[in-house]
Amino acid sequence: MIIRKNEHWFRMLFMWKGSVLPKLLSRLLLLFALSVIVVFAKGILFHYKIPLNPAPFTLFGIALALFLGFRNNASYDRFWEARKLWGALLNDTRSLARQAIALSGYLPNSTEIETFVNYLVAFTYALKHQLRHTDASDDLQKRLPPDIYPDVKSAIYKPVMLMKQMAIWVKKAKEQGKIDSIQQVAFDENLGRLSDIVGGCERIASTPIPYTYRILLHRTVYIYCFLLPFGFVDSLGWFTPLIVIFIAYTFVALEAIADEIEEPFGVEPNDLALNAMSLMIETTLLEMIGKPLPEKPVNQGSIID
């Protein structure tokens, strides 16, 4: 995820890292070459003059901009909902850790509380890996007891298995008289919120924007951009390639941005920084029980993964 301080307006014109321009450069160069050919041929294709003018492009461009705006709003809603779910994950794990620490039946530095907090940390990393389709073995092995790790590792939905282990921990504490019925209900409520977070993240990850809508907008944008040189060649002459590239960059970049943030759990520069958020949750939970804090990785420039 790109996080920058406010830059000078002139420097922002030349920002490269974090923009979608590197992805679009080859397409824009192709469009620039086409525009030069169209200007050189004066809008003639196969000995036939293409009878286009700027008027229909102006009207159609307004409609296309509205559709792109809707597409970007839909993608950003998914991105922002995912961010709110991970913000709720931070709050709920803190609440569960605080509830465990406050139990009068356990000493503040008891192994039982440390085990429960490690379940919470492992849950966070398991959810991150599930959403990114990566291997969670290393992160889980460092944080789970040897007798629990094999079952969680072999599970398809590892965060759900860890919630099961936390529920078993609460049940044992109730049977041992460490908590009463009211405290057990409070634990169950927060565990239920963790389940809602997992379900919300899975819904976003498994339900993309309908493909038929995406491909319709994609085709429309590129057909519009490749017809632009024929519409402007008579009125703009050799300025056509520059104007066409500027207009095309706006439309194509908006579509590329929508595609990038539509999947907020990925590893693109503008996706959510799940590694950093998982580390933050681990740090705050370990700090609450007085355990050594994990080392923070060195971030590369303004990119936080």
Domain count, the chain: 2
- 256 shares a domain with 284: no
Residue 162's pLDDT band (cuts 50, 70, 90): very high
- 285 shares a domain with 247: no
- 249 shares a domain with 165: no
- The pLDDT score that the predictor gives to residue 131 is 95
Is there a domain that residue 159 lies in? yes
pLDDT in tens, 190-239: 999 999 999 999 999 998 888 888 888 888 999 888 888 888 888 888 88
Q: For residue 4, is pLDDT > 60?
A: no
- 161 shares a domain with 139: yes
- 155 shares a domain with 23: no
- 233 shares a domain with 270: no
Sign of CA dihedral 100, 102, 103, 105: positive
Is there a domain that residue 12 lies in? no
- The pLDDT score that the predictor gives to residue 216 is 87
Q: Mean pLDDT: which of 78-92, 98-112, 227-241, 284-298 is highest?
A: 78-92
Residue 116's pLDDT band (cuts 50, 70, 90): very high
Distances (CA, A) of 123 to 44, 93, 149, 156, 210: 63, 10, 12, 13, 30
Is there a domain that residue 13 lies in? no
- 283 shares a domain with 249: no
Is there a domain that residue 230 lies in? yes
Residue 5's pLDDT band (cuts 50, 70, 90): low
Is there a domain that residue 257 lies in? yes
For 138-161, give the DSSP string: HHHHTTS-TTTHHHHHH-SSHHHH
Is there a domain that residue 200 lies in? yes
- The pLDDT score that the predictor gives to residue 98 is 92
Last residue of a domain, one of 262, 277, 299: 262
Is there a domain that residue 33 lies in? yes
Last residue of a domain, one of 262, 281, 300: 262
- 241 shares a domain with 169: no
Is there a domain that residue 42 lies in? yes
- The pLDDT score that the predictor gives to residue 104 is 58
- 218 shares a domain with 175: no
Range of the domain at 176: 81-208+263-291
Q: For residue 90, is pLDDT > 90?
A: yes
Mean pLDDT confidence for 271-280: 92
The pLDDT > 70 percentage for the chain reads 89
- 98 shares a domain with 242: no
End-to-end CA distance of the chain: 6
- The pLDDT score that the predictor gives to residue 139 is 93
Average pLDDT over the chain reads 86
- The pLDDT score that the predictor gives to residue 257 is 87
State phi, psi for 272 to the nearest 5 degrees. -65, 145
- 274 shares a domain with 231: no
- The pLDDT score that the predictor gives to residue 63 is 84
- 194 shares a domain with 222: no
Q: For residue 105, is pLDDT > 70?
A: no
Mean pLDDT confidence for 293-304: 65
Q: For residue 149, is pLDDT > 70?
A: yes
Mean pLDDT confidence for 137-160: 93
Closest CA to 31 of 210, 250, 216: 250
